[in-house]
Amino acid sequence: MNGELWIEKVSRQVKGIFWSRTAQRIKVVVLGRNISDGLLANLILYGLLTIVAYLYLQPIFYMISTSLKNLNDLLDPTVTWIPRVVTWQNVSDAFRGLQYPDALKNTALIAISCSLVQVLVCAMTGYALAKLSIPFKGLFTALVILTFLIPPQIIIIPLYVIYSKLGLLNTPFVFLIPAFFGQGLKSALFILIFRQFFKSQPLSLEEAAKLDGASTLRLFFGIMFPLARSACLVVFLFSFIWYWNMYYEPSWFLANDFTPLSIRLDRLEDVLNPSLLGQRNTIENPVTEGAKMAAAFLIIFPPIIVFMFLQRWFVTGIERTGIVE
């Protein structure tokens, strides 16, 4: 009898605490009104993202740590992440082996000039496919998609012959001229991006400009192209990054003196250890591992800097271009 009363009293008290205003407030803070705005949800979100981000970035950490290790640390399996002695030897080796300033100049020249040209030409083509009246428009669009699907391996030999006939090999023009004619690296993708962007622009804009007497050329360069700033930025950055990193095409078209960074990374081992020439890939050579990683880091360093400054505009730009609709 007494015990039952006591239990009821306690349970009422517990309920009272549980339903009190403070408890409610705590509950809102921890669990949130929605699934996504409570403290707990945020903690889980942060935890998950941080773990995945750590795994995701691990190869970069590996790259940086390997490039700072000396030979002893590289061969010692007990040293995993933090080298015992930080050495800059690898970095200076890589700098020398890549002939960094020279190669950087080549790569930057190709990447920047080709990307700029590509932005303009792809915008024009995309605009034509989106808004202008052309016979067989569907066919042309299908052909653009086809060029996106064709793997470069199929056409690389004929291209090599054509470029050598045109005398373009070993010059930056071997990439600049196709870019000018809308056939640069992944141009088809960029054309489709621009097409999508211009399609989403309202027709009334054009009509208003036409009524005011603007020609199509004026309309494009005066209104549509400046309007496509966000799409331009996205295309420029992607194009810049892909030109910066491309390996397959320059390995065919560019030779000894005029080579970008990616080719020189491939040849780094020969440059640093001429005695091992011809034996590469057959042996794991720990001696140059550090230098290679340092070189890899030197290669990705400039794009990372560029990206760090532009990333905010980049992500919102992609959201705004409506690439995906």
Partner 1 sequence: MNQTKAIAWQKRLYFMKRYGIGLLFLLPWLIGFCIFVAIPIGWSLFMSLHKVAVVPGGFKYDWIGMKNFKDAFVTDNVFPIELITYFQQMLLMVPMIVIFALLISLMLNQRFPGRFLYRAIFFLPVIFATGQVLSELFTQGAGEIPFIEQYNLEPLIEQYIGKQFAETIMSVLSRAILILWYSGVQILIFIAGYQTISPTIYEAVRIDGASPWDSFWKITLPASVPFISLNVLYTIIDLFTFPLNPVLAHIRDNMFKMDTGYGYASALAWIYFGFIFVLIAIVLLLFGRSVKTRRDRR
Question: Does the footprint of partner 1 cover residue 95 (CB under 8 A)?
Answer: no
Q: Which of 165, 245, 155, 148 is closest to 174 using CA atoms? A: 165
* 125 contact partners, CB below 8 Å, separation of at least 6: 144, 182, 191, 194
- CA-atom Rg of the chain in angstroms: 29
Q: At what angle do helices 39-67 and 21-31 cross, to 10 degrees?
A: 30
Which listed residue (247, 277, 279, 287) binds partner 1 by CB under 8 A?
247
**135 near partner 1, judged by CB under 8 A:** yes
Neighbours of 131 (CB within 10 A): 18
Near partner 1 in 163-182, by CB under 8 A: 178, 180-182
Beta carbon nearer to partner 1, 1 or 200: 200
Task: Give the number of other CB atoms < 10 A from CB of residue 234.
Answer: 26
CB of residue 199 vs partner 1: minimum separation in angstroms? 14
Which of 3, 101, 138, 151 touches partner 1 (CB under 8 A)? 151
List the interface residues with partner 1, window 191-220 (CB under 8 A). Answer: 191, 216-217, 220
- Please pick, from the candidates 99, 183, 201, 273, the single residue that binds partner 1 as defined by CB under 8 A: 183
Nearest distance from residue 286's CB to partner 1, in Å? 10
Residue among 125, 196, 239, 259 that touches partner 1 (CB under 8 A): 125
Q: Which is nearer to partner 1, 3 or 175 (CB)?
A: 175
| Max CA pair span of the chain | 106
Site for partner 1 in 269-298 (CB under 8 A): 281, 289, 292-293, 296
# residues contacting partner 1 (CB under 8 A): 89
Of residues 21 and 312, the one with the C-beta less far from partner 1: 312
- List Cα–Cα distances, 281 to 168, 277, 292, in angstroms: 31, 11, 13
Residues 4-63 within binding reach of partner 1 (CB under 8 A): 34-37, 42, 45-46, 48-49, 52-53, 55-60, 62-63
Provide, rounded to whole angstroms, the least separation between the CB of residue 263 and partner 1: 8
Pick the closer one to partner 1 by CB: 158 or 213: 158
Contacts 24+ apart (CB under 8 A), 33-42: none
Cβ proximity of 314 and 234 under 8 Å: yes
Among residues 18 and 247, whose Cβ is nearest to partner 1? 247
CB of 240 to partner 1, least distance (A): 10
Helices 286-321 and 187-199 pack at an angle, to 10 degrees, of 20
Shortest Cβ 162–partner 1 spacing (Å):
7
Q: How far is 210 from 232, CA to CA, in rounded Å?
A: 24
* DSSP state string for 210-227: HHTT--HHHIIIIIIHHH
